[in-house]
Chain A
Amino acid sequence: SAVISQKPSRDICQRGTSLTIQCQVDSQVTMMFWYRQQPGQSLTLIATANQGSEATYESGFVIDKFPISRPNLTFSTLTVSNMSPEDSSIYLCSVLGEKLFFGSGTQLSVL
């Protein structure tokens, strides 16, 4: 199994600012995933982060808004840039082993 440490667990931010979310995995993993979960909705994949290459973004998500870093096989960051209230969501990192493991989530509120 994989243990994922995600932080911060929650934050309240002002519009126009940026927040960087960090995920640390206790083992080396090839692919890490970043998801967004808006209130009452299912999880939506933002991007897949591979070490040593640029992240692959899903339709509707762009690098300028959600830049991702993947400096090594155990760590990744997601930045939510130039935030607006519509970015208020839970953000989750995830890795795929024998099952899909999730971080504890970052609950973001943008005022």
Chain B
Amino acid sequence: KNQVEQSPQSLIILEGKNCTLQCNYTVSPFSNLRWYKQDTGRGPVSLTIMTFSENTKSNGRYTATLDADTKQSSLHITASQLSDSASYICVVSAGGSYIPTFGRGTSLIVHP
């Protein structure tokens, strides 16, 4: 069964600090992995998308890594801002399927 596990479930950090969120998956065959940011009560917004051949991709202060061998991904947030407070969702798609598998998300709170 395809699964996506994220950790930690929640995280509280001080403004300006860095943090790293983790995603482990068992989706097969792997097609791509996406990280989304979801503000409270809103729809998810795409941050990065990575395919099998990519191991790092950046979007401003967000850097995603992918290790397809160990089936792990991380999202690193640099110099956090209050506006980074949100849920971060890891989404993995299998080849041949248009229905991705969603993680439960990591809830990030950035305190001033």
Contacts and interface: CB of A to CB of B under 8 A. Distances in A.
A102 B45 contact: yes
Contacts of A48: 98-99
B44 A102 contact: yes
Contact of A42 (B34, B45, B103): B103
Contacts of A104: 42-43
Contacts, number: 43
A65 interface: no
Interface in B77-112: 89, 91, 98-100, 102-105
Interface string B18-45: 0000000000000000101000011111
Interface residues of B, number: 19
Given A41-B104, A100-B100, A92 B49 contact: no
A31 interface: yes
Interface of A: 4, 6, 9-10, 31, 33, 40-43, 45, 48, 90, 92, 96, 99-105, 107
Interface of B: 4, 34, 36, 41-46, 49, 89, 91, 98-100, 102-105
